[in-house]
Every structure is written in structure tokens, then in C-alpha cells.
């Protein structure tokens, strides 16, 4: 185990720049060991051609709204749902699963925010969307922290 890992899961050698404070015995601190930089990182996913944009957690929400509504032309939602859950296997029993999926697919013009995991609750919701063929009725928006993306140095 490397005790010199940054909060972004990189070693000090993987960082492009270093500062004096990294050499101290202090624990890695995001405010000290990272710096903000502008990016024009956006485009279409190579996997499924879905549009994506990379932005800071402190990005003005009106900018994100402009991207979603005006540039990507996603219809304004009637409902916004955020689905989070663990990455463990998740299964509802019998009638509970049927009722949940039936009720879930009744929502129209919904934005669904997830962590993009193909496991647990998020996986169950994804299956419901596929089974009900909700394309065009529901927008699935994925929110990932860059430190949780494998090979994030290429992003």
C-alpha cells in the first residue's frame, strides 16, 4: 500500500507538477495539492455517441442548464430523480420488483441522475428503462467523480 496517494488515487510521480508541501508529512489536501484549470473537455462518447461535458463541482448551474437545454436540446423535465446506491448486488423480491418497475416507467419527461454504475439500484433502474423502451421519454444523466474513472489521466 502506498501512503503517498493523492485523493485522486494517483501517486506523487503521476502528478505533472509538485509543490513543496507534498514533501512534508502532511496528509494530501485537495486545496494544497491540486489546482483548478479551465477545460474545453466535451464531445461525444466513443462507446455510445452520448454527449458529455467535464465540469468542476463549482460550475455555475446556469451554465450546466444552458448546455443541457439549449445546446443538447434535452426537454425541460417534469421530474428530476437522483438514484444512488451501493455497488453490491441488489434484487427486489417477486411482486416488489414488478410493482417498482411498473411504477417507475410511468414517469414521463424525467431526468435520471446516477453514478453510472452497472450494479445495485442503478443497475435495476437501467434494466427498467431498457425493458420499458423509454428512449425519448427519460434522459439518463451520469455523474462521476474523475478519481473514480479508470485511466483518468487520459481524460
25 plus 62 within the same structural domain: no
Unique residue bearing C-alpha cell 461535458: 53
CA distances, 110 to each of 20, 92, 107, 150 (Å): 48, 23, 6, 29
Measured between alpha carbons, how far is 106 from 110 in angstroms, rounded to an integer? Answer: 10
Residue 125 has pLDDT above 60, yes or no: yes
6 plus 22 within the same structural domain: yes
* Boundary-marking domain end, from 54, 74, 94: 74
Tens of pLDDT, residue by residue over 46-68, are 666 778 777 777 788 898 889 88
Total domains in the chain come to 3
Measured between alpha carbons, how far is 22 from 35 in angstroms, rounded to an integer? Answer: 13
Give strand pairing partners of 112: 81, 140
Cell numbers describing residue 134: 423509454
65 plus 86 within the same structural domain: no
82 plus 149 within the same structural domain: yes
pLDDT value, residue 113: 77
Measured between alpha carbons, how far is 99 from 105 in angstroms, rounded to an integer? Answer: 10
83 plus 11 within the same structural domain: no
114 falls in which pLDDT band (50, 70, 90)? Answer: confident
155 plus 86 within the same structural domain: yes
pLDDT value, residue 149: 47
Measured between alpha carbons, how far is 152 from 146 in angstroms, rounded to an integer? Answer: 6
Q: CB under 8 Å to 141, separation ≥6 — which residues?
A: 68, 111, 112, 113, 114
34 falls in which pLDDT band (50, 70, 90)? Answer: low
Residue 154 has pLDDT above 50, yes or no: no
Q: Report the percent of the chain where pLDDT is more than 90.
A: 2
* Boundary-marking domain end, from 51, 74, 97: 74
103 plus 139 within the same structural domain: yes
CA distances, 22 to each of 12, 25, 27, 37 (Å): 8, 8, 9, 19
Lowest mean pLDDT among 6-20, 28-42, 53-67, 109-123: 6-20
Please compute the mean of the pLDDT values over residues 69-77 and round it to a whole number: 87
Domain boundaries, position 134? 76-155
pLDDT value, residue 62: 92
82 plus 69 within the same structural domain: no
Arithmetic mean of pLDDT over the chain: 68
81 plus 151 within the same structural domain: yes
Amino acid at each position: 500500500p502506498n501512503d503517498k496517494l493523492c485523493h485522486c488515487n494517483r501517486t506523487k510521480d503521476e502528478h505533472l507538477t509538485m509543490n513543496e508541501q507534498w514533501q512534508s508529512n502532511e496528509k494530501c489536501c485537495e486545496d494544497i495539492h491540486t489546482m483548478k484549470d479551465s477545460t474545453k473537455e466535451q464531445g461525444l462518447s466513443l462507446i455510445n455517441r452520448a454527449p458529455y461535458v467535464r465540469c468542476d463541482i463549482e460550475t455555475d448551474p446556469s451554465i450546466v442548464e444552458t448546455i443541457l437545454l439549449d445546446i443538447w436540446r434535452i426537454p425541460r423535465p417534469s421530474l428530476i430523480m437522483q438514484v444512488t446506491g451501493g455497488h453490491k448486488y441488489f434484487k427486489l423480491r417477486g411482486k416488489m420488483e414488478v410493482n417498482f418497475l411498473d411504477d417507475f416507467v410511468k414517469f414521463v419527461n424525467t431526468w435520471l441522475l446516477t453514478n453510472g454504475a452497472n450494479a445495485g439500484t442503478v443497475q435495476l433502474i437501467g434494466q427498467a428503462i431498457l425493458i420499458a423502451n423509454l428512449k425519448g421519454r427519460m434522459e439518463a444523466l451520469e455523474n462521476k467523480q474523475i478519481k473514480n474513472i479508470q485511466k483518468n489521466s487520459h481524460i
